[in-house]
Homo-oligomer: A and B are copies of this chain.
Amino acid sequence: MNKNYFIDITRASIDIEELNKSAEDPECGAVLSFSGTVRNHNFGHKVTKLSYEAYAPMAKKEIEKIIVEIFAMDPGIKKIQAVHRFGEMPVGESSIYLTVSSKHRPEGFLALRTLIDRIKQDVPIWKKEFYEDGESEWLHPDEGCCHKHLCLKSYDMS
């Protein structure tokens, strides 16, 4: 294996079986995975469909930065894979699938948690939910988004 990580931002449905297979490593005692799927309800609305928009080249770069930082946290972390799907998809399918292969489990848990938390904070991908009543909405969490980067919050906007 030349590279110890794999990143993909793709319109295709995620091949989870393939990712699980390539997560295996004879040096690793623990393989952890996270699958993010869109629930059928959000704030009481029934979600019928959803769509992700991605600034794909930047998303890939941001995920790469996160992964490099995670590898630096603990030498027991051996392999990381992160695939994010975008475009329209039905409720219940994986929008994101992450794997971490590590020597022991503590560093694996830490790495996987850090990976998903950081992706949700810093990777330029946006979710739009479509509801039963015909409405749709972009999700823009109000917090946790500007912790260290430039935005107008940092300035006096009066």
**A residues adjacent to B (C-beta < 8 A):** 16-17, 20, 23-24, 26-41, 91-92, 103, 105, 109, 112-113, 116
Contacts and interface: CB of A to CB of B under 8 A. Distances in A.
Nearest to A117: B105
Contacts of A40: 26-27
A33 B36 contact: no
A92 B26 contact: yes
A29 B34 contact: no
For chain A, what secondary structure do more than half of its interface residues adopt (helix, strand, loop), or is it mixed?
mixed
16 contacts: A17-B17, A17-B20, A20-B20, A23-B35, A24-B37, A26-B92, A29-B36, A29-B39, A31-B34, A31-B35, A32-B32, A32-B33, A32-B35, A34-B105, A36-B105, A39-B103
Nearest to A23: B35
Given A34-B105, A105-B34, A116-B105, A41 B17 contact: no
A109 B105 CA distance: 12
Nearest to A17: B17
A38 B29 CA distance: 6
